[in-house]
Chains A and B, each alone.
Chain A
Amino acid sequence: KAYLLCLSGGLTQPAGWQSLLSFTILFLAWLAGFSSRLFAVIRFESIIHEFDPWFNYRSTHHLTTNGFYEFLNWFDERAWYPLGRIVGGTVYPGLMMTAGLIHYILNLLHVTVHIRDVCVFLAPVFSGLTAISTFLLTRELWNQGAGLLAACFIAIVPGYISRSVAGSFDNEGIAIFALQFTYYLWVKSVKTGSVFWAIGCCLSYFYMVSAWGGYVFIINLIPLHVFVLLLMQRFSRRLYIAYSTFYIVGLVLSMQIPFVGFQPIRTSEHMAAAGVFALLQAYAFLQYLKDRLTRQEFQTLFFLGVSLAAGGVFLTVIYLTYTGEFLFATFNTKPSLPPMLRYAKIHIPIIASVSEHQPTTWVSFFFDLHILVCTFPAGLWFCIKNINDERVFVALYAISAVYFAGVMVRLMLTLTPVVCMLSAIAFSSVFEHYLGDDMKRENPGSVKQHPFYPVKNISVYSKPIVTMLMLMLLMMFAVHCTWVTSNAYSSPSVVLASYNHDGSRNILDDFREAYYWLRQNTDEHARVMSWWDYGYQIAGMANRTTLVDNNTWNNSHIALVGKAMSSNESAAYEIMKSLDVDYVLIIFGGVIGYSGDDINKFLWMVRIAEGEHPKDIRESDYFTPQGEFRVDKAGSPTLLNCLMYKMSYYRFGEMQLDFRTPPGFDRTRNAEIGNKDIRLKHLEEAFTSEHWLVRIYRVKKQENRQALDHKFRNIAAKQKFTSKKVLPSRFH
């Protein structure tokens, strides 16, 4: 009969209205999140942005054209010449699989979408899913209202938009969804203690592992949650079921990703999870014994067991470390856990050279999160004040994420969702308090005492004032989000734009001009040397073999390229010959004042080269005696004659950009260059883009033989000799 009643009037019940409202709000949040990520598409075009996305796009393209197994077995001979790269085994394939699957399904339904468009719009679409999973998680933590607020926040917050605008086809775009959804399912499984939810959590975790290296965050946070719950005496059957299922199934699933392989049982990053698993088993076992033994027996057994276990674990770890089975300090060049990063930062210049690995400033906290960064401690306080199992989780999530975000700008991304949730909780509590129904509150029978505020304290005037204030804050937040998205995070960086005085726009399309020239007018197997930043773009847009790229796994190879760039021409020529280089590509911003060019990155090249070749390259040689890095006449002669300098400024000395400056005036560094008479012996200019942003040089092939400096012998002819023979016709 209940069903009949539902049929008779879904909307006459408050629940019907509520679900319709939530559905609408979630849909609008999705829509708002999707649309606010489209600035770049509307201003420019549907194009893949920046560097890493180009690689992801290229592999997705490979996946869709050659199929899944070909992709898993893909050996990319066009990268890291002459080493190549086993792509299938060195990527997190989740992103490509997702885009490929969507493309496959759409094509199956005859929706003829190009894979590029799928890739471009994947992150905005997933931002909607992130909003929904954030809603679900917050609803589990607090209530539906807070969930809806959180969904709205995460949809537009710049900290997340920065990684998920249309065209930014990167792992993070889908990983944040996977992260939030895994956490939701985890909270759900802890709450219900059902294997069903725990398995769901594992599957979501599996997706996360396949998508992003940040899965390590999950596999450490969840054990931490369990551990803290144990410390808080909150052990329960539900927790035991949830974690045991999660750990075992999640472990097995995560090991199915080729790139992850046996890491979950070998590296220190994953050991916390194993330790907590063992601890949980032991705890449960002890709980079981406790019921069956007397107090005295139990205590003896407890100490015996604990000391035995501790000794056993200690010895095993020592043994494994000794035999090399267990790697204590493993890290790749993009570590996701800060302690390793700190190590890497000091010892490996290549990691320090990446701007997104810098520590976060206070300004960027505010820039990326705006008002939320101020309100989320309040939400955290509400949670701690009213603690339960899942709120312990969110508290731990918040604290660890804040720490990580403080270490590295990039990890701002993991902080953003939890800040949204906690701020939503804070806002929701305030609104619940100040936006309540007046009628009901006056009616003494129906007043429910609010947990935090006794109702009688609200004065009639404070209500509208507080509400208005909060609304204004939210409005300012929305405005700020849009502004930041529009101005800071919506540049494809492949296409540059400049604005004239009258507001009209000039598009500087030099990158694509040069890359397309390479694609069309060089040999298909030509090898292009460039600094590693442009490796993925060259592979993606020019479709040519590169020596080094953004997957900076081989430091010595990069150092070799750095050495070639920082040596003089003849020394560089030897290196380039040994690496079979056909073309050298550099970025030069001196004509238009583009600051991200190779001369400005040059010191990193020198440093990285010095790390591997300290005898040949010394950083100090590139500075003036006063310790300055100058490109003008006062600059160090080593700099003024190195290959990078020569290639950047070749024929630039003749160029007079305007009448106020002398010829050869570098607009980026605001200096007249020091070496204007540059002659290249082993290289020749092959192509320079319209605004000189990209310059490509051809490495001349060696001549057949070096001409000897000799005179013809003079032999006095004694008698003339004429051959009677006729030369064979082919010598004519």
Chain B
Amino acid sequence: KMYEFFNQIPPIFFALIACFFRASLCAEGLVNEDVKRTLDLSSHLAKITAEIQLANHGASRVSGFTLALEAELAPHLAFIGASVKGEEEEDESLELKETTVHGQSGKFFEAQLPSSLAPGAKLRVKVETVFSHMLKPFPTHITQAERQLVVFQGNHYLYSPYPTRSQTTRVRLASKTVESYTKLGNPTKSDETVEYGPFKDVPPFSQDAMKIHYENNTPFITISSVTRTIEVSHWGNIAVEETIDLRHTGAFLKGPFSRYDYQRQSDSGISSVKSFKTILPASAQDVYYRDEIGNISTSHLQVLDDSVEVEIRPRFPLFGGWKTHYIIGYNLPSYEYLYNLGDQYALKIRLVDHVYDDQVIDQLTVKLILPEGARNIHVDTPYPITRSQDELHYTYLDTFGRPVLVATKNNLVEQHIQDVVVHYTFNKILMLQEPLLVVGLFYILFFTVIIYVRLDFSITKDPAAEVRMKVASITEQVLTLVNKRLGLYRHMDEVVNRYKQTRDTGALNSGRKTLEAEHRTLSNDISALQARLKAEGSDLAEKVGEIQKLDNQLKDLVCRSCQEAERLVAGKVKKDAYIDSDKTLSGKRQELVSRIDSLLDAL
């Protein structure tokens, strides 16, 4: 469906179109054969639909026709749409362009027919208009116990540049209670409807004031401003947040608000608004509803198959003139709204969404936050909308900012809930930017810590600490060397055991030789370290000396066990005797090792 709104297109454009069509407009012989008007005043909006049977009584084919609005109604117009009733019950909507008619007041739209109308042919057209703030509360101030009465002022006739043969007007009201209504043509009133007409042969541009004063307790709430922020992330999420200013635009509350009456009497404050339903997309998640001072704890959320319903209950009931302000936000999975072909992306999302039934938005600001690095941005809006200067938005891990498209529009109703399509290109490599940034940051962090810990930044030298550190490092080396030396003995034990089985003297001798050699180098190293410890003036040098002494004994024991084994193999000792001596030797060794260990512990 295409709807057109004209307040934003440059006037010169209309002027051109008007000039172009003037010839075919005025000269033609179009006539409204039969008009059925319906005025739906049952909510706080005035919805006027007219079903018109157009006939071409002229001589030439007609390619378009003109729709007209009264000058009094025109400023309140929120939406206008026209469609041709097809034969297969399929409505074809028409493109509308604003135009002017010379010498007549009001607002005019030029509708282009899909196929021109031949002379004598007929056509059924449906024109739908929605007006906001047309119903004026009267009296303007009521008490809590009173009911809300409103006045509608309009036209009995269809305002049209063409003569009308026959027309009826049916008015649907919100209640049976009607204070007064204009009595043109003796209308019939039954329950909630008033029917005027039929009026015959009404000349073009006829106006006759219709005035209906009736009771209307439907919620008169208006969104005085809403800011809808849509933040797209290529990581799979679209965050939507709406900041809403709500106002009860019905009759003002006069005098006190009594909670007692409100709780005990069902019809007390009947025109006030306790709660309303907001319908969110079915995939909406993590819905939040809050204001400046925190969560609004009075809401309920219901997940349905095709939508998510939030019962929005403001903190306090809204009486006439009262206002409130809140924020509602939710997340959507991006795969339902974001399409791509290579690096080309298209975001298709509602420009404005449902807040409550029969909603009126006085002022809408949409902010579309695209991912960082989005280029070649192109927007397809379903209806003209004022683009403001693009902004930049910075959030987590952003470096050069995300492009923000800002657009505003006034006076919107439910019919404006339509999709906007934003095309842009985005290099997928840029997706890596954020993780790399985090990795880099951590790298820098750890690197600084490493540098800080490893390097000495002090401006003075602390000799004691330095000595302590040197000693610590030397003891550390001593520890490793001593342990290595103990390892040599264990290795030697293995060599001896193997020798006992294989009786290979050569292996034993070579093992002994390596032991001797390695032991010597290790012992020398330890002695060198001991000397250094002594040089540093540490008392640990003595302990190392003690270890050396113990080690000498230990080594002797190892050599002796080696000799014993040789003697056993050579048959010089009996097995029993060998086992005994081995036991004592290993006992001694154990003791020495544990003493060395305890000394090492003390280092």
Contacts and interface: CB of A to CB of B under 8 A. Distances in A.
A507 B477 CA distance: 68
Of B315, B323, B601, most A-chain CB atoms within 10 Å:
B315
A45 B293 CA distance: 11
Contact of B394 (A110, A651, A654, A687): A110
Interface string B570-603: 0000000000000000000000001100110110
Interface string B24-63: 0000000000000000000000000000000000000000
A47 B296 CA distance: 12
A494 B599 CA distance: 66
A111 B602 CA distance: 52
B103 interface: no
Interface string A481-521: 00000000000001100000000000101001111110111
A110 B598 contact: no
B376 to A, nearest CB: 24
B294 A512 contact: yes
A512 B293 contact: yes
A685 B143 CA distance: 13
A13 B316 CA distance: 66
A517 B315 contact: yes
Main secondary structure of the interface of A (DSSP, over half): mixed
Interface stretch (B78-86, B256-264, B407-415): B256-264
A520 B598 contact: no
A3 B292 CA distance: 56
Nearest to A653: B260
Contacts of A540: 293
B396 A516 contact: no
A686 B321 CA distance: 13
Interface in B204-255: 255
Interface string A1-37: 1110111000001000000000000000000000000
Chain B interface size, as a band, is 35 or more
Contacts of A651: 258, 260
A47 B264 CA distance: 33
Interface stretch (B465-473, B501-509, B559-567): B465-473
B322 interface: yes
B454 A685 contact: no
A535 to B, nearest CB: 16
A44 B594 CA distance: 62
Contacts of A5: 473, 476-477
B255 to A, nearest CB: 7
B599 to A, nearest CB: 8
A693 to B, nearest CB: 11
B325 interface: yes
A211 to B, nearest CB: 26
Central interface residue in A512, A515, A519, by most chain B CB within 10 Å: A512
A687 B316 contact: yes
A494 B315 CA distance: 14
A692 interface: yes
A22 to B, nearest CB: 15
Contacts of A112: 394-396
Contact of A685 (B258, B321, B325, B395): B258
Given A2-B473, A45-B295, A110 B454 contact: no
Nearest to B259: A688
A507 B398 contact: no
B324 interface: yes
B478 to A, nearest CB: 12
Nearest to A651: B260
B601 to A, nearest CB: 5
A47 B294 contact: yes
A27 B296 CA distance: 35
Given A5-B476, A688-B258, A516 B601 contact: no
B195 interface: no
Contacts of B295: 44-45, 47
A446 interface: yes
Nearest to A7: B454
A722 interface: no
Interface string A510-541: 00111111011100000000000000000011
Interface in B253-295: 255-260, 264, 291-295
A324 interface: no
Given A45-B295, A111-B396, A443-B594, A684 B255 contact: yes
A20 B6 CA distance: 71
A454 interface: no
A509 B291 contact: no
A655 interface: yes
B524 interface: no
B297 interface: yes
B298 interface: yes
Contacts of B398: 110
8 contacts: A6-B454, A110-B394, A515-B293, A516-B324, A655-B260, A684-B255, A687-B257, A688-B258
Q: Which 6 residue pairs of A and B lie closest in terms of their CB atoms, listed nearest first?
A: A688-B259, A2-B473, A445-B598, A685-B256, A684-B256, A507-B297
Interface of A: 1-3, 5-7, 13, 44-47, 110-112, 440, 443, 445-446, 494-495, 507, 509, 512-517, 519-521, 540-541, 651-652, 654-655, 684-690, 692, 698
Given A445-B602, A687-B259, A692-B259, 8 more contacts: A44-B295, A46-B294, A47-B295, A110-B394, A445-B595, A516-B324, A521-B321, A655-B260
